[in-house]
Amino acid sequence: MRKKSSLVILTVLILFNFILMINLLNPNKVELLNKDVPINEDGTKILAFKDDFEDGSLGTDWTLFGYGGVGTHTSNSGSYSAYTHRDTGNITSKEFDFSSCKFVYVEYWVQKGDDDFSEDPDGNEDFWVQYYSKTGAWITIDEFLASDPDGEIYEREHRLPTDACHSNFKIRFYQLDGTYSSFYIYDYWHFDDVKIYFERKPNLYAPNLYDEKVTPLSGASNETYNFTINYKDLDNNSASIINCIINDTYHPMTKVDSSDNNYKDGVLYEYLTPLPDGKYFYHFEASDGKYDVRYPKTGELTGPVVSQINFEIPKIKTYGVSPQIGHTTTDFIFSVKYSDQDNNPPSSISVNINGEIHPLEKVDYNDLNFIDGCFYQYITKYSSNNNITYHYNASDGVNDIGSIRYNDSIQIWEIEYFNRQLEGDLYSFSTAINDILLIHQIRVQIIYPDNTFEESLLLYNRITRNDTSSINNKWDWSKVETGEYQVNLIITDISGNIVTFQKGTINKLPSFNFLIPVFLIIGVLAIVFAVGAVYINRYEPKITIKSKKKRKSVSPEKTEYKRESIKYIRETRAVQTPYEERSVIHRTVSIDHCPYCNNKLSKSVLKKIKNGYRVNCPSNDCRHPLTQS
């Protein structure tokens, strides 16, 4: 029994020690999975729009009115989030056609600013979330107060009233007020992970396209050509997509009558555009969100035939180079707007920079309207400061034009790391900046192996022009596992432009934990103790007696001797043990014989055993140690 107990103790101690060591050496991270709402056709929310701003800009899905943008001050997911600040203003989404929907749902994450990562609003600098209703009014669905705690986080989900189900739905994030100075910008509100869902009405029938037309069928390049088609849906579902595809280029179509929502009777759509000279082919595609249709089902329609005229001299409007201050990875963009009232595209268009000619690329290849102008650009990078002279040249094939000469200065930031040193669980960064820009914010970013990253604010201040400054900060390294990591430095200028510098790696070595050797010692002692207990149980047998239900008649001398021996054993052990346990003896031997060789023991040997001495069996063939039980 003792042997089994020792083995159990040994096993438990070893397992306990092993588990503690594993947790100390390799702590696990727990990650929560965020599951998107499943997309289904009927009765389930369908995702219409999602933006986490991880591309670093508002893009074409949002319009900024006032002050704001996208930054890395804080976020709900990833690194970026949108923000408003400084003054009254808002960020408004693009329009959505939810006229055939049953319900519209919106989700978003909002955080009030805090001095730890931006700056906190106060006073009446509240933040509202609103949607545009079918009556043309902005309806407020959330009000976040400047009096709430700084850095407060809000997560919201709403099912909007039915007046959100119309063809011009949009949502906006509106800041009521704010303040700023020539040195600082205050009062930030941040929002992230905007999602818009809709629930469709029953969709049983595929839509139908019919009665297409293009007018005129032929003409000059400066005329406007109108492509039209009717869209019909017996479920009265609007077209989620309807395009006119001209020479394999997609062009979105719009309603002729924006108030016509009776799709059961058919709604007329059009695409208006001038066309350069040439021959054209086209077809139409549409969808109600479930069924996709094409007209014609196969092949292409031909027309129109466009003839070139060339009476007008083209024009170019220059936009200079932007930005003029950056770093070695900044894209410097030379841009120009080319227009021609004959709607003739440029046969050549270029920029001459310090005597080198560079062709310009069209920004939007789907734009065929040269009458109102098309944008062209040239993108390059600079590794050092440059004084540049540049001008633009263009031609429509007959008429050549050129711009005046411009002189600009391209200036490059000089940034250098030094004193990157690990101090316990704090990583110290010192950064020297020879700056030629009004810097608004500096952050350090650590990239993890799964490409996620965290940031720590280094500076929220303004560095004056041509000022060399040292910035010191300590990164909390305690939650980061051992290994090598990439480090980025992120700089934000006063306009909100973000620049990322990648400057090598840092390495965190395993830190010493005094608990590890403690548990190692405990584990070794536990093993020694358990092995010793097993050895003693195995190699030191005990003299025991056998409980007898019936006495046998023996000689008086033996009876007296056994009576004394039994009395002694009962006094030392049996008296302390219940009778039921005394009857269970793991090994039964005679009281006056060696349990190994069965040699009869003398009275002197038995007396020594009785007095607690440890003696060996007197038999030369045995010599096993004997002790009292």
> φ and ψ at 375, to 5 degrees?
-90, 140
pLDDT digits (tens, 9 = 90+) for 473-486: 455 556 566 666 66
Residue type, 313: I
258: DSSP letter: T
The CA R_g of the chain, rounded to the nearest whole Å, is 43
pLDDT digits (tens, 9 = 90+) for 560-575: 555 555 555 555 444 4
Task: Name the pLDDT band for 589 (thresholds 50, 70, 90).
Answer: very low
Say what the pLDDT of residue 592 is.
78
CA–CA separation, 497 and 56 (whole Å): 10
Q: Cβ of 407: how many Cβ atoms within 10 Å?
A: 8
Task: Name the pLDDT band for 627 (thresholds 50, 70, 90).
Answer: confident
Residue 16 has pLDDT above 70, yes or no: no
Residue 88 has, within 13 A of its CA and on its CB side, a CA count of: 2
CA–CA separation, 556 and 559 (whole Å): 5
pLDDT digits (tens, 9 = 90+) for 409-439: 888 765 544 444 444 444 444 444 444 444 5
Say what the pLDDT of residue 611 is.
79
CA–CA separation, 523 and 18 (whole Å): 8
Q: Is the dihedral of CA 296, 300, 302, 307 positive or negative?
A: positive
Q: How would you classify the pairing of strands 62-65 and 483-493?
A: unpaired
Residue 23 has pLDDT above 70, yes or no: no
Cis-peptide, bond into residue 296, ω within 30° of zero = yes
pLDDT digits (tens, 9 = 90+) for 184-216: 678 899 999 999 999 877 888 999 999 999 999
Say what the pLDDT of residue 21 is.
55
CA–CA separation, 9 and 13 (whole Å): 6
Say what the pLDDT of residue 335 is.
95
E strands, 435-515, are 439-447, 453-463, 468-476, 483-493, 498-508
CA–CA separation, 389 and 396 (whole Å): 25
**Domains in the chain: ranges and CATH:** 46-200 (2.60.120.260), 208-307 (2.60.40.650), 315-411 (2.60.40.10), 413-508 (2.60.40.10), 542-626 (no CATH)
